[in-house]
Structures are given as structure tokens and as C-alpha cells.
Amino acid sequence: MAYPVSPLASPFPALPAIAGVTPHVVRAGYKDWGRCDLTYVTFEAGTAVAGVFTKNLCCSSEVELGRDNIVQGRARALVVNAGNSNAFTGYRGREAVEQIMDQVAAHIGAPREQVFVSSTGVIGVPLPKDKAREGVEKALTAQPCTWEDAANTIATTDTFAKGAAATAMIGDTKVTISAIIKGSGMIAPDMATMLGYLFTDAAVEPAFLQACLSAANLRTFSCITVDSDTSTSDTVLAFATGKAGNAPLTSFQSDGAHAFAAAVHDVCRQLAHLVVRDGEGAQKFIAVAVTGAVSDESARKVGMAIANSPLVKTAIAGEDANWGRVVMAVGKAGEPADRDKLSIGFGGTWAAREGVPLADYDEAPVAAHLKGHDISIEVDLGLGDGSATVWTCDLTHGYISINADYRS
């Protein structure tokens, strides 16, 4: 089923090609939706890989095998299936993934541990081996495609293709990152991306690439939520071909390492925001900024309690400045909070300061702010120097409509 494009959608950017990376798409027919549903990306030998994966204990075989494969640090291929998550499918699901890995590895002449597989879609249905075999066979000889084609192919309930790019200088060498992501529902830490892939021509050792991706994940993908549900399949992988020719980055002591890490964070932040902007049924993009917490982690937990509250999210959907619901969410977070030091605001206008509603509070500017698409909620706990920003969307009838008929 096709859904109306989110009012928060962003146009797909012009993503640069990455030397040593070639994307392809084909139709395997995992779901009867008349479009390509298998993405196949090849990497030249020596490509480094890093990854972060869902913490859902009922994860897919793709996630389990990906965690195992990431340890060896190199990649030659990526296969992404859309329409079937292949999660909660036991040995049959694992056999399907291993079949894909073996088929691709034999074709490109690489160890199967260097073939990464992701799947997304309905849970509980084994990935059909015959369709997988035929789909991969077509993909192995398919013509290269655009990044936008690849982004559309990995989508499920997404209403627009999502991509981001950034550059960094490593010494005198310019390196580029291009990235795509899919995600719209079942979005919550840890981590919360559904499926995302970063591709760079930088020369980066696997351990440092992992450090950069893990650090970026903590401040981006693990700070978003659409519906508080952590997927069985969430995966973000980063691939570095080294074709830019820079001196390899091995640690933060390497020349240009901080610039590269900042570029990775920038791309991850862009992608994370795009996922929230395409939240199922979303009409509002909400930033929750928490300050004055006892620690940054405490601030993040308070922010997530607010961002996951159905009462807060529906109030924003109804453009209702019901700051009492924010107070409630702060109090239920399980983190240090003092009612008499708490301050709440919307769009830069404080409604209450240090536990007391402001006598001169004017709701008019807040009401005007809530009519927009980009909403901010400010919370000052007044306890310390900890701070964090998390991002979510409102909760509308559209979310119910999409998920009530998802399998059909």
C-alpha cells in the first residue's frame, strides 16, 4: 500500500558517487508491490566495515550474522531485502541468509563473512529461498543504479527516499560520505534506525571506523523515537573503501581524525532526523531539549520519557500547549527531578519556571508555534550540568491507519 508523502518530507539530495562502491537494485518479489525490493552493493577489496545493531533480544538472523561478521572488519558486498524482515523464523530464516551469503561470496570470490545481509518488513515469515536465489542471481548481473534508486528499494512504509552526505579534509585530501536509510515506524533506541548505510572513500582502519560510528549512534540514532518500539532488524553499517588515498585513520591521534568523526556524526544526525520526519502518520517534527540534569545520560532518559509519551505526542498533534503532560513525563522517567526546580517551555517561551506557572505566561506565541511543522519543547531540571536533545514526532490517526493494515 502506498501512503501519502509526509508533510515533513525532504527532497532526496544529490549524493556523490563513492569510489569503490557500486549499488544495484532488482525485483525479487518478496512482496506484491510492483517495484524493486532487493538492493545489492559491491565493494572493492580492502573495504573496512563497522556496524551497530538492534538490542532487541528477538532479532533476526541477519542481525546475528552481521554481529559475527563485523568482527573481521572487512566487506565486499551488501544485500538488503525489503518486504520481509525474516525475523522470528528459526533455522529456515538463518538458512536463507546463509544461502544469500554463499551465493554472493562465490560470485565475487570473497569469504562469505565479508557479505552482509539485512532484511526489513513483516516479522514471522521466512525469507523464501527460491525468491532469494533468483533475486540475487539477477542482482549479480544488474546494471549500476543511483543512490535514490537504492534508497527507494530498501523502503517499506517510508513515504520518501532518505539520503545524506558530508565531506571532511584529512590532511590535504578531501573525503566524502554518502548515506541512505529507511525507517518510518517501529523506531526507538537502542538503536533506532531500522536500516541505514554509510559509504565513504576515506581510508579508515575498522576499529576507528567502529569508534566513530558507535559515538555518532549514541547522539543520533539512539536519541530518536517514533513509537517506542525497538525493531528486530535495526542495523547501521559503515563502509570505507580507502580510495580517496588519504593516510589511513587509525585513532583520534591521526591527522584529520576529528574532522572525519564530525562528518560521520553529521551524516548520522541528518539520517536520524529524516527517519523521524517520516514517522508513520507524522505531522510534526519535535525536538525535546533537556538541560539541568545530573548527567547527560539522565537528561537523555528524561527526554525519551517525554518523547515516548502518547499524551505528550497527541497534545502536540492537537496543537495543545498542555505542559502538564510534560511535567508528568519528567516525573515518570525514573531519573532525578525536583518539582520545585522544574521549568517547562515551548518554542522558546517558558510556561513555568522553577516549579511555578508564570504569572505573565502568554499562550498566544506558544499556540502559534504549535501550528508549525517543527516544534521544540524545553525542559530545565535545575539540578546540574547534564543536557541532551532527543527527537520524535506527533501521534496521529495516520499512525493507527498505517499499522492497522500493515500486513495487507
| Residue owning grid cell 567502529 | 210
94 Cβ neighbours under 8 A, 6+ residues apart? 61, 64, 65
How many whole angstroms separate alpha carbon 381 and alpha carbon 200? 40
Catalytic residues: 193
Q: Is position 319 annotated in a ligand binding site?
A: no
**Polymer length in residues for the chain:** 408
How many whole angstroms separate alpha carbon 340 and alpha carbon 362? 21
| Residue owning grid cell 530545565 | 380
Report CA-CA distances (Å) from 396 to 197, 310, 325, 403.
29, 10, 17, 12
Specify whether the CB–CB gap between 355 and 341 falls below 8 A. Answer: yes
Q: Is position 182 annotated in a ligand binding site?
A: yes
How many whole angstroms separate alpha carbon 357 and alpha carbon 243? 58
Specify whether the CB–CB gap between 114 and 206 falls below 8 A. Answer: no
Q: Is position 69 annotated in a ligand binding site?
A: no
Q: Is position 322 annotated in a ligand binding site?
A: no
Single-letter code of the amino acid located at 135: G
Specify whether the CB–CB gap between 329 and 313 falls below 8 A. Answer: no
Single-letter code of the amino acid located at 341: K
Q: Is position 200 annotated in a ligand binding site?
A: no
Helix (H) / strand (E) element for 11: namely none
DSSP string, 163-211: EEEEEEEETTEEEEEEEEEE-SSS--SSS--SEEEEEE-S-B-HHHHHH
| Residue owning grid cell 554509510 | 198
- Please report how many Cα atoms fall inside a 13 Å half-sphere around the Cα of residue 391, on the Cβ side: 23
Q: Is position 280 annotated in a ligand binding site?
A: yes
Could you give phi then psi for residue 192, rounded to 5 degrees? -125, 40
| Residue owning grid cell 517543527 | 374
178 Cβ neighbours under 8 A, 6+ residues apart? 15, 16, 17, 18, 147, 163, 164, 165, 198, 199, 200
Least Cα distance to 38 among 11, 95, 77, 2 occurs for: 77
Specify whether the CB–CB gap between 123 and 87 falls below 8 A. Answer: yes
How many whole angstroms separate alpha carbon 375 and alpha carbon 373? 6
Extract the annotated binding site for substrate.
156, 182, 193, 280, 403, 408
Annotated binding residues, written as ranges, equal 156, 182, 193, 280, 403, 408
